[in-house]
Amino acid sequence: MTERAVIDAEGLNPGDPLPRLPDHVSHGRFERVLRAGHFAVSTEIAPPDSADPEEVLRRASLFDGYVDAINATDGSGANCHMSSLGVCALLTREGYSPIIQVSCRDRNRIAIQGDLLGAAALGVCSVLCLSGDDVSVGDHPEAKPVFDFDSVSLLQTVRTLRDESRFLSGRQLDLPPRLFLGASINPFAPPYANRVDQFAKKVAAGAQFVQSQYCFDVDMAREFMARSRDLGLTEQCYVLMGVGVLASAKTAKWLKSAIPGVHIPDAIIKRLEQAEKPKAEGRRIAVELMQQLAEIEGISGIHVMAYKQEEWIGEIVTQSGVLQGRKPWAPTHLTHIKQPASA
Amino acid sequence: MYRVRLWSVRHSRQLEWIYGTFNPLLVKLLRGTVKLFGTRLDKPITKVEAVAKGFFFDCKMCGDCALSKTGMSCPMNCPKTIRNGPCGGVRENGHCEVKPEMRCVWVAAWDGASRMKGGDAIKSVNFAVDNRGKGTSSWLKMAREELGHD
């Protein structure tokens, strides 16, 4: 049977774009979930140190049925891995809805605009604009940092490409990239009072969804959301709060000291220290955080970051109940019928 | 100099007043100079700007000065040269994630802006700098913009 015949018989090729719904900027499933008013769950995939496509799909399959979108990180921590564009291209072929992370550290405006067109052509529907970690914290500190843009300029650029159908130079595009536009926020680092202003700037620059840094302090999140609501930001932008899964008190202390911008209250560290099974306690903390955050008005979803504990994401999401019985899309058997027919 | 730079942020209100009062005069003077001398005095004028702003703000002569919109804290001193900061990596003590000994340029910027009359300008979105302007004078740019030629 030819591939076309299989599709005709069994339905849409998972890699085919979905029709764009009215008032949606992208063809993507992630935007659909949020706009439909569902509580969304996203996570991130750790791109492999490998050229093996199967490894990407194996890692993604851990999330099947539990998440609405998968962030493909772009040299996170300034360490070299498979590119976010490569990971996204592999994921869209299978029908997943990846969020391509674009950092400003490694590429200038010429490269970034080209990559955004390429990503959209490969079926990527969502983008997360980041400034990026400095090269000095990664495994190639001798590299030249680019930072031609910052995250806000990058947001403006994607919006120009998409809404004005032109490059920054003014040159017209034949077909604009239909990208749902995202950014990051960190309400848990100084200057605390201005973090909501920074969020407002990102919304003004075009952010339609934001994912936050790890949230381990629900009170701080509550206060931040109250101020965001006052400024009307939650009506213009979906907020997905970041939840981390801590493996032990040692990991928590390491995160707190080694990754600037991560705030972990002492109470959480104490809980992990006193727990008989710290790993299980870390997961319990994540579940509780998700449940508490889901109660806060204006929070539209959770972004789970469980580095090296990805196999637990399903259990954590299920236990939290934030999906309210909804089962996010996952690939079916159709995924591996890629061989062209000989006939 | 780092300490002078911090002083400038603490005195952003006064510097804003000085800027507001003398900048129109300066631009007027430079406009006349440009009319008379064309580009012949660009080099010494640029040098004066670099020295003066270098002393007060550790100015990097990006050619697209944003000081009045960034609480008198020069964004080009951010290791990532972020023009709409801060990034998410600010340390708990308000210092930079890349240079732990340095106060975050954008923590300083929001602090400086909170003291300024027109401090709300920091909330407007800035686009990335035009890299062709590196090393050129923002003062002359303003003078030429008002003259209607670049």
A45-88 confidence digits (pLDDT tens): 999 999 999 999 999 999 999 999 999 999 999 999 999 999 99
Question: pLDDT at position A97, please?
Answer: 95
Nearest residue of B to residue A190, measured between CA atoms: B94
Bridge partners of A242, per DSSP, are A214, A303
When pLDDT is averaged across residues A127-138 and rounded to a whole number, the result is 96
Quick check: helix, strand or coil at residue B64? coil
Question: pLDDT at position A4, please?
Answer: 61
Put simply, the answer to whether A153 touches B83 (Cβ < 8 Å) is yes
Decide if pLDDT at A283 tops 60: yes
Q: How far apart are CA A165 and CA A20, in angstroms?
A: 17
CA distances from A90 to A36, A39, A58, A64, B87 (A): 27, 26, 11, 15, 30
Can you give the residue range of the structural domain that contains B36?
2-147
User: Under a CB-based contact definition with an 8 Å cutoff, are residues A102 and A71 in contact?
Assistant: no
Decide if pLDDT at A264 tops 80: yes
Q: How many CB pairs under 8 A join A and B?
A: 99
Q: What is the mean pLDDT of chain A?
A: 93
Placement of tokens 């001398």 in the chain: B37
User: Under a CB-based contact definition with an 8 Å cutoff, are residues A89 and A63 in contact?
Assistant: no
Spatial CA neighbour of B108 closest among A151, A136, A190: A190
- How many helices and strands (H and E) does chain A possess? 12, 8
Question: pLDDT at position A1, please?
Answer: 54
| Token pair for B126 | 């800035």
pLDDT tens figures, A3-53: 566 556 656 667 777 889 999 999 999 999 999 999 999 999 999 999 999
Nearest residue of B to residue A136, measured between CA atoms: B98
Phi then psi for A220, rounded to 5 degrees?
Answer: -65, -40
User: Under a CB-based contact definition with an 8 Å cutoff, are residues A109 and A157 in contact?
Assistant: yes
Residue A337 — very low, low, confident or very high, per pLDDT cuts 50/70/90?
very low
Residue A341 — very low, low, confident or very high, per pLDDT cuts 50/70/90?
very low
Spatial CA neighbour of A178 closest among A129, A122, A233, A101: A122
Q: What is the DSSP track for A169-207?
A: TSPBPSS----EEEEEE-TTSSSGGGHHHHHHHHHHTT-
Question: pLDDT at position B146, please?
Answer: 73
Best of A101, A150, A211 to disrupt the B interface (most B CBs within 10 Å) is A150
User: Under a CB-based contact definition with an 8 Å cutoff, are residues B75 and B81 in contact?
Assistant: yes
Complex ipTM, two decimals? 0.95
Residues of B in contact with A145 (CB under 8 A): 79-80
Neighbours of B65 (CB within 10 A): 23
Best of A134, A148, A241, A253 to disrupt the B interface (most B CBs within 10 Å) is A134
* Annotated domain spans of chain A: 3-185
Residue A291 — very low, low, confident or very high, per pLDDT cuts 50/70/90?
very high
Q: How far apart are CA A38 and CA A203, in angstroms?
A: 21
The total domain count for chain B is: 1
Chain B closest-CA separation from residue A234 CA (Å): 18
Question: pLDDT at position A8, please?
Answer: 64
| Long-range pairs for A267-271: beta carbons < 8 A, 24 or more residues apart | A268/A216
Cα of A180 vs its chain's centroid, Å: 12
A164 close contact with B: CB closer than 8 A? no
pLDDT tens figures, A179-232: 999 999 999 999 999 999 999 999 999 999 999 999 999 999 999 999 999 999
Percent of chain B scoring above 90 in pLDDT: 95
Put simply, the answer to whether A147 touches B97 (Cβ < 8 Å) is no
Residues of B in contact with A194 (CB under 8 A): 110
